[in-house]
Chain A
Amino acid sequence: AQKITQTQPGMFVQEKEAVTLDCTYDTSDPSYGLFWYKQPSSGEMIFLIYQGSYDQQNATEGRYSLNFQKARKSANLVISASQLGDSAMYFCAMRGVNSGGYQKVTFGTGTKLQVIP
């Protein structure tokens, strides 16, 4: 079974500072993918970054980077130089394979980030 845990229901960060959003996962699949999504108050889910379980380097997309520690089963999202527009819910998700051999995506409960001017 797959499980994603986000232990921070809410966080505050000062504008222009960096912030780390925590995500730990559990899976028995040898191959999996980890995602982060942003959900503003409008409701749309915005894809931010992806890390494959076999990727040697941490994924980076602009101000977003994923701190992937496979042995610890963690995939934290780091946002550098926070902006007011970064205020949103952030979801960590994992793609694995279900018992039938098909893809399955599991989401965490989310972290609400608020950027303070």
Chain B
Amino acid sequence: KAGVTQTPRYLIKTRGQQVTLSCSPISGHRSVSWYQQTPGQGLQFLFEYFSETQRNKGNFPGRFSGRQFSNSRSEMNVSTLELGDSALYLCASSFSGDEGYTFGSGTRLTVV
């Protein structure tokens, strides 16, 4: 079966712009989580959606937002991009969260 698909794989944006990243979970998985990974901060949890509802949120500013659609696909939006937002953004899905999460290949965002 298909894995977790994240698009696009690479993205270059300018400071002040906004960006939308997409994540398609494994079929049947209802939980989608987003993480930001940087060399300095490591893996940081952004938020988790389950059946279209955000049920968990990390400590990120309001510029970071997300949503989940009825087909479980999820999008993450970052507005007013800053240089420090340059990172690998990983999406992970699971059926309920009790088992291992399956990660996508990530979207590498570079803000210039």
Contacts and interface: CB of A to CB of B under 8 A. Distances in A.
Interface string A92-108: 00010010101111111
A16 B105 CA distance: 28
Is chain B's binding surface mostly helix, strand, loop or mixed?
A: strand
Is chain A's binding surface mostly helix, strand, loop or mixed?
A: strand
A109 B92 CA distance: 18
A35 B99 CA distance: 9
Given A100-B55, A105-B45, A95 B97 contact: yes
B11 to A, nearest CB: 14
Contact of A50 (B31, B99, B104): B99
Contact of A105 (B55, B88, B101): B101
A43 B105 contact: yes
A43 B101 contact: no
A89 B79 CA distance: 30
A44 B105 contact: yes
A43 B106 contact: yes
A45 B56 contact: no
Interface residues of A, number: 23
Contact of A110 (B31, B33, B42): B42
Contacts of B88: 43
15 contacts: A33-B98, A35-B101, A43-B90, A43-B108, A44-B105, A45-B90, A45-B103, A95-B97, A103-B55, A104-B45, A105-B33, A105-B45, A105-B97, A107-B42, A107-B43
What are the nearest 7 A-B pairs in CB distance? A45-B103, A47-B100, A107-B43, A103-B97, A102-B55, A44-B105, A109-B42
